[in-house]
Amino acid sequence: MRFYRVLLASFLPLALAASNPNAEQVFRGRLEIGSQSLPIRMHLKSSGGKVRGSYLYEKIGQPLQLEGSLEQNRLKLREYSGQQPTGTFDGRLDKSGLEGSWTSPDGKRRGRFSLLEQDHRFAQARLTTRVIADPKRGLEVLYPQFSGVDKAAGWNRINQVLAQEPTRLAWQYRQDYAEALESFRKGQIERWQLEMGALELDYRLLLGTDRLLSVVMRGYGCGPGGCAHPSRFVMAYTLEPSSGKRIALSQLFKKSSNYLSRLREIGVEVATSTYDASAREAIRDNLDPRYLQWALSPEGLHVYWSVPHVLGDYIETLIPFSRLEGILEPNGPMSALKR
């Protein structure tokens, strides 16, 4: 998918759990075979250079077994359905995730895969993906849900929160497409305008613990009937699994800290050192802390700033915990993660 290639490049990497080789690592991304872009999720455990696990196509949901080896970050995996070989993965494992090639057993089908690690450290909860897709209409929405915790009220509430906006967006897109289709049938718009429509949404689990979780969903949209320029958007959620409540940004900081001004100051500094000179003035003028999305990861605070469409609709800055010394609430969620 065109949006996913932007998504993959734009996410900042998480460190892999190399210090605990027996822990399960979860990766998500795409397997590209010809014109197909297939969302997959992979679960791996490694010990003594041996790797076992499974992966699945998120639109299908049936896991395939994996086994292989990891030597000097070179990962080789054989996949099976029961006892039947169904393919091989050959790639490299680094701090950005997994990347490499896939080959069918007969060698006739080949593809490339790129996967990012999800910060998955729950005691019982298991990450799953819900898919709303209609390829003929340019619709593909993927959002996270959590299984294995069905009787926990907090997790049930989290699943509801994470499903609400993606399902609303998909419903609205289908309504808009139906109206555009009627306009096409009446000769009011051309076929190419109808086919310009697209809504794509994907996500990454930046932080996944039983105390806090942070999810970032990134989307790409162009209304059915055509649009001058497709738009990008981001939705970020930080929630408390015990209660299911969403954490407010203000909870992370001391009440007298004037934290919004500090975030803007650091955001301008980071953004203007990252983007070219032609964009710096516009960035400096448009980073408004009243209109931001945010999330947490083990690396720090991710802030997503709204900017003019010509600059890409939003920009991301990662603020390390060390840059926020003195204004964090000592008993707040982010300070607890820092420790």
State residue 339's pLDDT score. Answer: 46
Domain ranges for the chain? 1-117, 119-231, 249-338
Do 1-117 and 119-231 fold alike per CATH?
Answer: no
Q: In percent, how much of the chain has pLDDT > 70?
A: 90
pTM of the model: 0.88
- H helix runs in the chain, sequence order: 2-10, 153-185, 191-195, 259-274, 277-286, 333-338
Place domain 1-117 in its CATH homologous superfamily: Quinohemoprotein amine dehydrogenase alpha subunit, domain 2 (2.40.128.120)
- Indicate the class that CATH gives domain 119-231: alpha beta
State residue 7's pLDDT score. Answer: 41
Q: Which residues of the chain have pLDDT under 70?
A: 1-22, 278-279, 334-339
Tell me the two tokens of residue 60: 């299908």
Per-residue pLDDT reduced to its tens digit, 26-51: 999 999 999 999 999 999 998 888 99
Per-residue pLDDT reduced to its tens digit, 92-136: 988 879 999 999 999 999 999 999 999 999 999 999 999 999 999
Q: Which residue is it, tokens 């497709």?
A: 230
Arch. (CATH architecture) of 249-338: Alpha-Beta Complex (3.90)
Pairing of strands 198-208, 213-222: antiparallel
